[in-house]
Structures are given as structure tokens and as C-alpha cells.
A = this chain, B = another copy of it.
Amino acid sequence: MEGLDRAALEQVSEYFKSLAEPTRLCLINALRDGEMSVSDLAEAVESTPANVSKHLSLLASTGFVERRTQGTSVLYRIADSDIYALCDLVCGHIAKRIAAKVMSRQ
């Protein structure tokens, strides 16, 4: 992303922003094992269908999830599994930080 101009960086930040919310990360986690309906997801993340629907719309707008209608339900699924690589990188960074903190305390 070296040569990106301001507008491009703004777009990149939009994508990070879509992952910068615990409820959305929780939804992404819940979708690990396959597609789920909005109401099931709402139960899984302990929130309301309206709220979950809004978060899923945002995740769909950045292309991390996709939707499919089945009867009166809407099933969401992960569209780009790179999303997990992203999360793992961040988790690794956090782990590194914790390890460094432990070392410095010795």
C-alpha cells in the first residue's frame, strides 16, 4: 500500500473500521462453521436481530460476508476467509505484546 494517496487510504481505513467492533468480530467468529440466519446469529452473539442485521449489512458492504435468502430467512456466510488471516495477525501481535511485557517484568 506504499504509494496510496489519501483517498485510497480512506478506503483502506473503511475496511479496518468494519473489523474494529467487538460485535462484528463475534459475528465473524460465529460464521466459522458455516452460514447462519440473522436470528440465529443474534442469539449467538446475544444481541437483537435489528442490531445484528445492521452489522451484517456493513460487513457485506466491505465484502467480508455474503447473503443468501432462504424462505423468510437470510443466511450469511464468510465471503473472504482472508478475514481470519487478518484476525490471526492481530491476535499474534497482541500475543507478542503480552509476551514482551512478561519478559520485561522478570
Contacts and interface: CB of A to CB of B under 8 A. Distances in A.
Interface in A12-28: 12-17, 19-22, 24-26
As for how many copies of this chain the complex holds, the number is 2
What interface size band does chain A fall in?
A: 35 or more
A29 B13 contact: no
Given A9-B25, A16-B16, A92 B88 contact: no
Interface stretch (A48-56, A67-75, A93-101): A93-101
**Chain A at the B interface: mostly helix, strand, loop or mixed?**
helix
A31 B4 CA distance: 14
Nearest to A87: B1
Interface of A: 1-2, 4, 6, 9-17, 19-22, 24-26, 29, 32, 63-64, 80, 82-94, 96-97
